[in-house]
Structure formats: C-alpha cells, structure tokens
C-alpha cells in the first residue's frame, strides 16, 4: 500500500482590520494632542501613514526602514525633503507585528504617533477592538539566509538564519535600578503579546531638562514612561516586569524591524543597541540579495522558534 503524501503546510493569509477605529493621545516628544485613525487597506497595500493636516500625496509616508531619517530617542519617518515627518512609530509598528497586520492606513493630524502608556499594549487593544480579517493574498516574510552584523563601539547587533523569529538582547547600565539585563526568547506574535507588549519606554529624571531643550520628551510623564531617579523607580506602581527595561528594548527592536515591510525570520543577537543600530542592520541585510529571500508564512513558520522567555543574569 502506498504511504500517505506529506501535506504542504497551510499558507497564512494577509490580514487587515475589519473596520476603522480611532484613538486620541499625546505625542511623547512633541507634547501635543494627537488624533489617530486606523483604516483597513487592500491586500499587498502594506502599512502607510497619512498626515491629515498635509494635503494630497505630500502627506503620505510608507512605513519603510528607508524612510527613517532620525533615530534620536525614537524612529522618525520623513520624506526626502523633510517636510512630512512622523515620529515615534516603533511602538505602533511592534503592535501591528503582534497583531499580524499586513495592510493598514494610519491617519494622524500631527507629526507623531500618540505614546499612550509608553508600550505596545494599548495599540494591540485598539486592533483587537476593531477586529481583523484575512485577505485573498498570502502573507510573506523575509527569511535570513546569511549572518549580517553591525558593530558600533560597544554596541553590536546581528541577525542569523533561524526558524521563526527569536532574539537575545543585553543592556548594561551603570544605574543600579537597571544594571545588566539579558533576555532570550522566541518572538512569534503570541509570545510578543504575552511577554513584551506591556513593557514601557523608560528615561532618567536627570536627563529631562536637557531632552526638552532639544525638543524631545515634552509629552513624557509617569503615565507613559518608567522614570528612574538615582536608584529609585518613581512610578507608584513600580515595574510591570522585573526586567521591563530590556523587554522594552526588544519591543523597540520588533517595531523597528517591522519597518522592513514584512516579518523577519531569523535569530537576532543585540547588545547595547538602539533605533539607529536596528535601522542600520536592516539596511545591511536588505542591501545583500544573497543574505535573504522572500518566503511565504505558513502555519508552521514559528513552530521551531524558542518558546517563552528565558532570563539571563550577570553570570551568564
């Protein structure tokens, strides 16, 4: 008797929202009130920002790593002329990765995505409230075929071939409230939601005045950031995770990487890096055609990625 044929894994379809949904918040760096509207988009449309306060095509910016023009304290998209800008896109982009949204129009009436509580969780809640639908097009991912790395002093980041999406991230601050933290985990969308999405952005009280003088952090507060003063956490409710600081760095990485236009399939290792390094790695990877290829996402794409989160310590 002939054996059964092995079945090809089911291809995952692209997704968008069932219908529009809006929210209002504050820009982390501008301090201005921002209204944001999320709208469904057609298959293969991708994720696109649209400034309602700038008429016509001049106000449209694709969520693309090549449009990142500034990486001080956030990832800011801008056109070549610099006349249309949209800042702090990384938390929303991370949430869209976690929600597996491929096609979306994001309308804003200002030059910054609202910070909400400083994490990706409110954006995931927004998407879940709107609901999502499958579309008549296969979901694609960027599969890493060769190891690519970026070094910058003590900062280092690389992405290597690997099944699914996984990351090892290390931070090391002289501040005793943070210290050295390491996390290793698989980053399939469900794990991102459980382990990373609620981690908030953070800053230091002694840096607030200088940042605001630079036009940054004008909307920052204890409502939307973890604030460290000396060895103390100023937020009354404390931390959401013991290692919330390194988890938020992973959140930023996920959001910055989703600006590649599709999920990344590979193993990431990073130490002491930020938005600039995340963007530099995408440029280095996607500039090498032999280092990656398009791959259809299937029901088994993330099945072999490391599960859950495993913490490291200074002795690792």
Which residues neighbour 166 within 8 Å (Cβ) at sequence distance 6 or greater? 184, 185, 186, 187, 267, 268, 305, 306
Identify the sign of the CA torsion 283, 284, 286, 287.
positive
C-alpha distances out from residue 305 to 163, 193, 267, Å? 6, 15, 9
Q: Which of 29, 91, 248, 275 is catalytic?
A: 275
C-beta atoms surrounding 308 within 10 Å: 10
Distance CA 282, CA 286 (A): 6
Among candidates 136, 157, 137, 139, which has minimal Cα distance to 148?
A: 157
Is residue 162 classed as helix, strand or coil in its secondary structure? coil
Active site residue 275: yes
State the Cα–Cα distance between residues 206 and 180, nearest whole angstrom: 20
Q: Please count the residues of the chain.
A: 316
> 305, 162 in Cβ contact below 8 A?
yes
User: What is the four-CA torsion angle of 240, 274, 76, 147, rounded to 10 degrees?
Assistant: -120
Provide the annotated active-site residues. Answer: 275
């Amino acid at each position: 008797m002939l054996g059964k044929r092995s079945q090809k894994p089911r291809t995952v379809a692209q997704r968008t929202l069932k219908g529009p949904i809006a929210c209002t918040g504050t820009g982390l760096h501008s301090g201005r009130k921002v209204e944001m509207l999320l709208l469904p988009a057609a298959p293969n449309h991708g994720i696109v920002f649209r400034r309602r306060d700038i008429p016509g095509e001049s106000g449209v910016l694709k969520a693309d790593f090549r449009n990142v023009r500034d990486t001080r304290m956030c990832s800011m998209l801008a056109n070549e002329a610099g006349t249309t800008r949209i800042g702090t896109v990384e938390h929303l982009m991370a949430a869209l990765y976690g929600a597996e949204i491929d096609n979306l129009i994001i309308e804003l009436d200002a030059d910054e995505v609202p910070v909400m509580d400083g994490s990706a969780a409110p954006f995931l809640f927004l998407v879940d409230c709107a609901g999502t639908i499958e579309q008549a097009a296969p979901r694609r991912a960027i599969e890493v075929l060769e190891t690519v790395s970026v070094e910058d002093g003590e900062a280092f980041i690389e992405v290597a071939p690997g099944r699914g999406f996984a990351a090892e991230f290390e931070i090391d601050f002289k501040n005793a409230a943070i210290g050295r933290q390491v996390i290793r985990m698989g980053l399939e969308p469900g794990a991102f939601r459980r382990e990373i999405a609620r981690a908030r952005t953070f800053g230091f009280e002694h840096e607030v005045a200088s940042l605001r003088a630079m036009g940054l952090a004008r909307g920052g507060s204890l409502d939307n950031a973890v604030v460290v003063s000396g060895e103390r956490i100023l937020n009354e409710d404390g931390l959401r995770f013991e290692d919330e600081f390194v988890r938020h760095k992973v959140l930023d990485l996920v959001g910055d990487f989703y600006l590649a236009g599709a999920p990344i399939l590979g193993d990431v290792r990073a130490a002491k890096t930020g938005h600039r390094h995340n963007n530099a790695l995408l440029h280095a990877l996607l500039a090498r055609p032999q280092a990656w290829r398009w791959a259809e996402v299937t029901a088994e794409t993330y099945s072999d990625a490391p599960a859950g989160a495993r913490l490291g310590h200074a002795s690792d």
